[in-house]
Amino acid sequence: MEKSSLALSQIFEPIRADLEKVDREFVRHVQSQVELIPKIGQYIQTSGGKRIRPAVLLMASRLAGYEGDRSILYAAVVEFIHTATLVHDDIIDDSHLRRGRLAVHSRWGNDITVLLGDYLYIKSMALALTHDELEIIRLLCDVTLRMIEGELYQLTKNGDADITEDEHFDIMRRKTAYLFGGCAQIGGMLGTVSNEQEQALREYGFNLGMAFQIVDDLLDFTGDAVAVGKPIGSDLREGKVTLPLIHLQQHSSGGAGPQIVRDIISSRSVTPEQWHDLLRCLKEHASIDYAYRRAVDFAERSKKPLYAFPPGSERDALLALPDYVLSRDR
């Protein structure tokens, strides 16, 4: 996999000050007389998230010619929604680590974490309602509902070694891509763009989100456990069959690979020998290469709609982001 020539900090440089404002907005709105809420909020915020979703919204709003402060608020709303999803996901997946630290539920327990996720969801909508932008609020509600539907759908497919590529992509669209698309579209809605340009931004974000999630899934096989911040192989041990494994199952019927997948899912554990054999099978059938090619396809597809906009630093930054996503190692 080729490494991007641009680091995330370079791509985000034009909006660095705005991202800092988003962080301050997050802290300000997570304040509560219940001391536990800001305490956990600070713990989450200092855990090293990349802020890609709010950054997409901020850069898209600039590309659309918007210069006000509402982009800061909506970027904070998006961060609240994403954070709520993460804390709930970690409970559902029983993931003990998030970005190399104890997940919130591992530190504070499931009961508190469920309620915290609920609090963050409601807080996000309360924040969005501080401006009378009904179309944006409707979009945020729609995206949030799709994410929850995606989580429910994934649970129905958990442990299903025979999940199809179409089913897997449907989950990815709901859980990841629609939020990325919504972030870019909101940026356009804040600015002065045509309907075609607004949809171009949505298409950009959607395809970026698909590429992002495929690479995220690939890190389970190609990443370093310390860099990724969770044990390698954790997706499969949680019963999640991702694109490389779907490809392997389709192209090695009767081989060792599909049986290893089923054994790991069944036992919810993996031995070093099993993992070594599984990686060998994935390599033999070029399954990781196949998944990465699909990520490249989505990344390239995300760039094309941006040419509906004139050249400029904001467009350059958005064009650089798909290449960064493809080069991720954590």
How do residues 59-100 score in pLDDT, each as one tens digit? 999 999 999 999 999 999 999 999 999 889 888 877 787 767
How do residues 223-268 score in pLDDT, each as one tens digit? 876 666 667 788 999 999 999 999 999 998 778 899 999 999 999 9
Pairing relationship of beta strands 97-98 and 101-102 according to DSSP bridges: antiparallel
Amino acid 227: pLDDT: 66
**Angle 188-211-168 from CA coordinates, rounded to 5°:** 110
Amino acid 229: pLDDT: 61
Amino acid 199: pLDDT: 98
Amino acid 4: pLDDT: 42
Amino acid 226: pLDDT: 64
The pair of three-digit structure tokens given for residue 118, joined into one six-digit string? 């609920």
Amino acid 1: pLDDT: 41
Q: Which amino acid is at 240?
A: K
DSSP single-letter state for residue 31: -
DSSP string, 101-170: EE-HHHHH-HHHHHHHHHHHHHHHHHHHTTS--HHHHHHHHHHHHHHHHHHHHHHHHTT-TT--HHHHHH
Tens of pLDDT, residue by residue, the chain (330 residues) = 444 447 888 999 999 999 999 999 999 999 999 999 999 888 888 776 789 999 999 999 999 999 999 999 999 999 999 999 988 988 887 778 776 788 899 889 999 999 999 999 999 999 999 988 999 999 999 999 999 999 999 999 999 999 999 999 999 999 999 999 999 999 999 999 999 999 999 999 999 999 999 999 999 999 876 666 667 788 999 999 999 999 999 998 778 899 999 999 999 999 999 999 999 999 999 999 999 999 999 999 999 999 999 999 999 999 999 999 999 877
Domain 8-327 has CATH 3.30.450.20: no
* Local structure of 63: helix, strand or coil: helix
Whether the Cβ atoms of residue 177 and residue 163 lie closer than 8 Å to each other: no
Outline where the chain has alpha helix (H). Answer: 8-11, 16-29, 36-45, 52-63, 70-93, 104-108, 110-128, 134-157, 165-172, 178-190, 195-222, 225-228, 234-237, 243-251, 256-267, 272-284, 287-303, 313-327
